[in-house]
Structure 1
């Protein structure tokens, strides 16, 4: 069964449609389709606000790519960093929890969140898209964040 997900961001809706195109009639697109997906125009345009996670890597899950625009959402994360390299256990659980959830559910997920950094607060939406191997194990999760801010009152009016 495939869950319906609610996406407010037009950019993320477009990326979700591209992911569905690569999925075709399967539950998830195959790992081999990831390079084609990553070359899609909308995906390349969102690269600064995206992160790619490889599961399982040799020594645990790995952030293969972390866009430079994600400093406020994924603090202290950088490309090539393993989940286990995050110093704080609380931060590690908060940042990696959604990726682990996608690996178990094997379905895309859209989430909205609110973050505080210093004197600034921001609302954002993120879309996590899984890619699997032939045994339906999630091997890659591509996450895209819309940090433009969401007008919550207008979105739900």
Structure 2
């Protein structure tokens, strides 16, 4: 009989130990300036020490819940298009604590984002050769003193050298 009582006490103690929680919960309601709840707000809860982020979205009643957060200092940020971003800093969460963080969001301006993408000209990196086509009309209109074809080499971008009778110094 004593053994059965000891087993029962140990089983009860084990179940109580499993019921212990080492986390806390941050919850709250998001409202607009008139006091109406705002559904669909993205709420980001960031642990300041570890930079671990937890995201949740408010339900139809404007409520959000972020359970099982490690104890520590947190920042709560609420964002929704059409409203200014709201931030609450310095929220301290203890073990098994339920911290209520209600946020009133101010109406923001309608913003429009324009994305401009510019691509640089591709550079050929597999070979060092240069090429350029000079048509006959351009050759006839250029003021070439000697009509030497090697003078046309310098029309190609990236070619350097000295102009003269010797073209051994081109690169």
TM-score, normalization: structure 1?
0.22
Larger of the two Rg values belongs to structure? 2
Return the structure number with greater relative CO, CA threshold 8 A, min gap 6: 1
**Higher helix content, 1 or 2:** 1
